[in-house]
Each structure stands twice: as structure tokens, then as C-alpha cells.
């Protein structure tokens, strides 16, 4: 398997692999170009965001600045909106459903590192996918950690850190985020 195949399969991989580093740098250039577009040039912004992401439609709207590692591992549904400062470490797939809204400063992390300092020095890491259902609202400055699934119709309160799965039809808040209410 290539290092990219290992990465996407959730296996330990070499984060300093030359092909991965080349992909990371290409995406950084695309993000910089996207972030430098005029905010009022909606057509150019939408065209470029569809070039960066793995799946997006003509109604996808991401306020600048936007940052990601690979881009092509991010798939967003219809009518997706993300506010300023959306950041995604997409070493695994990030799948977001239809009609999702993200507040400013939302961060999604898929990359995982060892807690053992000697292992970290090897630059070996692994990744876990993140999945967000349909009709989800994620408040500002929320952090979503690797391997998390957020079900349909959820609201995640501003400033929350989502460390584990959140079932559908839930309102969750806090650090770590906990369900405080179920909606019918």
C-alpha cells in the first residue's frame, strides 16, 4: 500500500512521505488562492472551492479564510455553509450532509498522533474519519475530534469540543460535548 492508501484506510502511515507532502503543498496553494479571491466574486469562489473539495455543489458557500490539508477528502452536501476560519485536517474522509451550517472558527480534525513522545518523533500517524449528518448546525469555535459521527438534525453549541459520537436529534454543548436535550 502507498502511504496515502494507508492514511485513508486508518492505518499508521509516514506523514513525511514525499507524495503526501506534495499533495499538502498543492492544496495550500489552492487555499491561498481561494482566500485571496475577492469576497464578492461568488462565481470564482464557488468554482475554486469545488476544485479544492472532493464533493461540493453550486450552492456550497465557505467564507474566507478556509484551510484544509488535502481538500479532496472533504465531501459536503447540498446548500452547505461555513463561516470564517473553517479549518479541516482531512487526513481521513470528512463527510458533511445536506443543509449544514457551521459557525466561525469551526475546526475538524482527522489526524491522530501518539501520546508517546518517542513515537511522535517518527512522524508516524494515523487518521479517523468524521461524519456529520443532514440539517446540522455547529456553533462558532467548535472543535470536532477524529472518529466522531454527529447524527442528523443536531445542534452543537458554540465553543464545544466534540470528543465522541452525538446521536441524531440532539443538542450537545460543552467540553467534552454532552447531549443536554433531545428534539423530536
* Active-site residue set: 113
Cell of 52: 479544492
Task: Using alpha carbons, list the distances in angstroms from residue 97 to 19, 21, 25, 66, 125.
Answer: 30, 29, 27, 19, 27
**86 CB burial (10 A radius; 0-12, 13-18, 19+):** buried
Distance from C-alpha of 102 to C-alpha of 26, rounded to nearest angstrom: 25
DSSP letter at 7 equals: H
DSSP letter at 68 equals: E
Q: Which residues pair with 179 in a beta bridge?
A: 172
Amino acid at each position: 500500500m502507498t502511504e496515502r492508501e494507508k492514511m485513508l484506510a486508518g492505518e499508521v502511515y509516514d506523514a513525511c512521505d514525499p507524495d503526501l507532502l506534495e499533495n499538502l503543498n498543492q492544496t495550500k496553494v489552492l487555499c491561498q488562492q481561494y482566500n485571496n479571491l475577492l469576497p464578492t466574486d461568488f462565481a470564482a469562489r464557488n468554482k475554486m472551492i469545488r476544485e479544492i473539495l472532493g464533493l461540493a455543489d453550486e450552492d456550497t458557500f465557505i467564507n474566507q479564510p478556509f484551510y484544509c490539508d488535502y481538500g479532496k477528502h472533504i465531501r459536503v452536501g447540498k446548500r452547505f455553509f461555513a463561516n470564517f476560519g473553517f479549518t479541516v485536517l482531512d487526513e481521513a474522509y470528512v463527510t458533511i450532509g445536506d443543509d449544514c451550517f457551521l459557525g466561525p472558527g469551526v475546526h475538524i480534525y482527522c489526524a491522530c498522533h501518539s501520546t508517546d513522545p518517542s513515537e511522535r518523533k517518527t512522524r508516524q500517524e494515523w487518521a479517523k474519519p468524521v461524519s456529520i449528518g443532514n440539517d446540522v448546525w455547529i456553533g462558532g469555535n467548535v472543535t470536532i475530534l477524529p472518529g466522531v459521527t454527529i447524527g442528523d438534525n443536531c445542534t452543537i453549541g458554540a465553543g464545544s469540543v466534540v470528543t465522541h459520537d452525538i446521536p441524531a436529534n440532539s443538542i450537545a454543548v460543552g467540553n467534552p460535548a454532552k447531549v443536554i436535550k433531545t428534539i423530536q
